[in-house]
């Protein structure tokens, strides 16, 4: 494919706007041809900002357009699986935000539609495309640290979401920790076999009243013997806390938080610096660009997508196992939830 990739965008909310701006201003090999949203005014605003000529009345209108090569699914989670099926049947290549669905049955239906249609699918686990985490992965994959032994991921949000969001999000493990489950697989390069969760409500009682947790430590046992921990909190008062370390037999590789500047102020009383970048929109700006560039390249150059449908399915299995472990207060093997590949 020598011409620009024509992309239709389904969803003009926060992440839809980010992706639209990326395509419009950062990826010259792609063109944002059309956008739609259940709120037409939101779609029109993004279209005006990004020079998108067509505001579609519905997702069906985008999928019926023969000039559209690929779609970005940036709508609410409950619509993802159905839109993947519809887009696959329409012959469109697909980039879909995580998670594909909260139900493994619905995920499998979507992946089967993709396989049958022979289109490409990439799931939006953007943290894989962050330069810091990618360097840790390279150190593991390249043998710089020797044999990996321990993994520690810290992922804490600056403020909890409202209870109204918690009720429809699928819960912390499916909404927040799912990124860390994907990162654990990515960094170690092995599958998790068993999960044990210790979790509670320490941030906001309303989250507990909604049936969820807001604080957790999750232990992972990998097939290659590595032991991992994920440390989650819905509220870190100092900002967005995103760190990871892999300890190996020869050395370790770690990445710390990102800051708005590198300045350090040293006085007679203290040595201090500014707080870390405050949320994912700031912390992962370049990773959003990199993941879309990878998707566009996969379609234009007919290469495999770097984050497949199976990569989207397995973290959901892990999230369901983590919740089951919390509920039943015991380690849960992923095989209890599902096989790691869809039928």
The CATH number of the structural domain formed by 5-119 is: 3.40.50.720
**What gap in Å lies between CA 12 and CA 4, rounded to an integer?**
22
To the nearest whole percent, how much of the chain has pLDDT over 70?
A: 98
pLDDT at 342 over 50: no
Q: What is the mean pLDDT of residues 249-266?
A: 96
Average pLDDT of every residue of the chain: 95
pLDDT at 163: 87
Residue listed under structure tokens 């357009």: 65
Cβ atoms < 10 Å from Cβ of 48: 10
Least confident of 1-5, 69-73, 257-261, 307-311: 1-5
Q: What's the confidence (pLDDT) of residue 282?
A: 81
Residues 182, 129, 101: CA angle, nearest 5 degrees:
40
Strands 215-222 and 192-200, sheet pairing: antiparallel
CA distance 47 to 53: 7
pLDDT of 182 strictly over 50? yes
What does the pLDDT read at residue 341? Answer: 46
Say which CATH topology domain 128-278+313-336 has.
Dihydrodipicolinate Reductase; domain 2 (3.30.360)
Q: Which of 184, 221, 176 has the alpha carbon at shortest distance from 335?
A: 221
Each residue of 47-66: pLDDT tens digit?
A: 999 999 999 999 999 999 99
Q: If we measure between CA atoms, which residue out of 201, 190, 188, 196 comes closest to residue 153?
A: 188
pLDDT of residue 2: 60
- Radius of gyration from C-alpha coordinates of the chain: 20
Decide if 235 contacts 194 (C-beta within 8 A). Answer: no
CATH 3.30.360.10 positions along the chain are 128-278+313-336
- Torsions phi, psi for 223 (to 5 deg): -60, -30
Residues carrying CATH 3.40.50.720, the chain: 5-119
């Amino acid at each position: 494919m020598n011409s620009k990739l024509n992309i239709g965008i389904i969803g003009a909310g926060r992440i839809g706007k980010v992706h639209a701006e990326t395509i419009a201003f950062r990826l010259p090999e792609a063109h944002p041809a059309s956008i739609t949203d259940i709120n037409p005014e939101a779609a029109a605003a993004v279209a005006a900002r990004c020079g998108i000529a067509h505001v579609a009345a519905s997702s069906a209108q985008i999928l019926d357009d023969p000039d559209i090569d690929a779609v970005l699914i940036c709508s609410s989670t409950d619509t993802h699986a159905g839109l993947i099926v519809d887009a696959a049947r329409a012959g469109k290549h697909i980039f879909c935000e995580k998670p594909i669905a909260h139900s493994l049955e619905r995920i499998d239906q979507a992946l089967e539609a993709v396989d049958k249609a022979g289109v490409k699918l990439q799931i939006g686990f953007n943290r894989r495309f962050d330069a810091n985490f990618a360097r840790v992965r390279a150190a593991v994959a390249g043998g710089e640290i020797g044999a990996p032994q321990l993994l520690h991921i810290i992922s804490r949000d600056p403020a909890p979401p409202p209870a109204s969001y918690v009720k429809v999000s699928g819960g912390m493990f499916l909404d927040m920790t799912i990124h860390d489950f994907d990162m654990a697989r990515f960094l170690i390069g092995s599958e998790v076999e068993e999960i044990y969760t210790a979790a509670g409500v320490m941030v906001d009682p309303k989250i507990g009243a909604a049936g969820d947790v807001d604080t957790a430590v999750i232990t992972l046992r990998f097939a290659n013997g590595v032991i991992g921990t994920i440390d989650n909190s819905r509220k870190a008062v100092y900002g967005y806390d995103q760190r990871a370390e892999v300890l190996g037999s020869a050395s370790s590789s770690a990445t710390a938080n990102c800051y708005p500047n590198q300045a350090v102020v040293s006085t007679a009383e203290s040595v201090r610096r500014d707080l870390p970048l405050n949320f994912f929109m700031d912390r992962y700006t370049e990773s959003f660009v990199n993941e879309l560039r990878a998707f566009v390249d996969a379609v234009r150059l007919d290469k495999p997508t770097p984050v497949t449908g199976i990569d989207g399915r397995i973290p959901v299995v892990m999230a369901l196992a983590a919740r089951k472990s919390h509920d039943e207060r015991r380690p849960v093997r992923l095989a209890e939830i599902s096989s790691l590949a869809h039928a």
